[in-house]
Chains A and B, each alone.
Chain A
Amino acid sequence: MDGLRVGGYRRGVGHRLDTRLVGWRRTLRVMTERFVTRGFVGRPRPDGEGTAGDARSRTPPGQYLTTDFPVLSAGPTPRTPLDRWSFFIEGLVREPMTWTWDEFTALPARDWTVDISCVTKWTKLDMRWRGVSVDTLFEAVELLPTAAFAIASSDGGYTTNLPISDILNGQAFVAWEYDGKPLAPEHGGPARLVVPGRYFWKSAKWVRGIRLLDRDVPGFWEGLGYHNRGDQWLEERYSGD
């Protein structure tokens, strides 16, 4: 296990990182050299991590800690058979790409231990996932210089928007395992986008692809009152409030 915690971010960390496409290995080295802070990089330790004070400092404003994994859903659970599942990257890329399930899950994957915060106010610490970084996916397509925004789309019609700078450099991944088991359909399986540095509605369940654009297009909740960026450390819950 080489779990990297990225959920405990404070604002600004992502912006200080070089946003050019780099392999996650190099990114990891850069991040550990320059930005090691407690609760940011490193696997949970038996000696003090997980204490009450640590848990408090990792809980964003207005959130409460939970140990269960609440199921939130805006619609019926899609159940796409794996032999008909695929994942695309399209839009402002040199060569659009589609992976089958077998191809996708053969990509270089890693374990991620991250803290997750939902806009409905629960926060869950040390959630363990396995999946592939968005960096790895983008390396396969080569982004055009005009690509600045991403919109993720899911089975069932859900969408969410993110600036590319919010999902590069190990800030986002597509997971197909949670807690050592295949990701359950009610939690977004077979595969879910996970963006620990943003409220959990940005972590699209049942994700099937990412489209790259030169302009920002609001997603399902962003287009109806929820904040466009959704940084839980800044309590960016609603737009215009």
Chain B
Amino acid sequence: MADDTTVDPVEGQVLDGNAVGGLLATAFGAEMTEVPGECAHCGTVSMVGELRAYVRAPGTVLRCPACSGVVLRVVETPNATLIDVRGAAYLRFERR
């Protein structure tokens, strides 16, 4: 099926976690882009800003750059922000 000459319109829409830094800062109440996190699927440690952000969807999905597994999901409803962190083994916040 795969055709190397095919341009996948989805790939052109993918951003990195820095592009959704504002959304994440609001969701977590902290600046997030330089926070390291471990992918629960493959163990790769990436900064949140390095995750691959799929924003053209009902919510925002942040995926591991190594294995494409879902690390974080954020949904904003009219009254709440929901964050799914099951794909992160941990997130590391430095105490300053």
Would you call A74 an interface residue if the criterion is a C-beta within 8 Å of the partner chain's C-beta atoms? yes
B contact residues around A80 at 8 Å (CB):
1
A224 and B82 within 8 A (CB): yes
8 Å CB interface, A163-198 against B: 185-186, 190
Query: What is the size category of the interface that chain B forms with chain A?
Result: 20 to 34
Q: Per-position contact with A for B50-68: 1 when CB-CB < 8 Å, else 0?
A: 0000101111010100001
A contact residues around B80 at 8 Å (CB):
225, 240-241
A contact residues around B10 at 8 Å (CB):
71, 73, 76-77, 186
Neighbour of A73 across the interface among B13, B70, B75, B82, CB < 8 A: B13
B contact residues around A77 at 8 Å (CB):
8, 10-11
B contact residues around A185 at 8 Å (CB):
1, 6, 8
8 Å CB interface, B74-95 against A: 75, 77-80, 82, 84
A224 and B1 within 8 A (CB): no
A contact residues around B11 at 8 Å (CB):
76-77
Chief secondary structure at chain A's binding surface: loop
Q: How far is the CA of A241 from the CA of B84 in the complex (A)?
A: 18
Q: How far is the CA of A237 from the CA of B54 in the complex (A)?
A: 20
Q: B-side interface residues toward A, CB under 8 Å?
A: 1-2, 6, 8-11, 13-14, 54, 56-59, 61, 63, 68, 70, 73, 75, 77-80, 82, 84
Given A73-B57, A81-B2, A225-B75, 16 extra CB contacts under 8 A: A70-B56, A71-B56, A74-B54, A75-B68, A76-B11, A77-B8, A186-B9, A224-B73, A225-B59, A225-B77, A225-B80, A225-B82, A226-B59, A226-B75, A238-B77, A238-B78
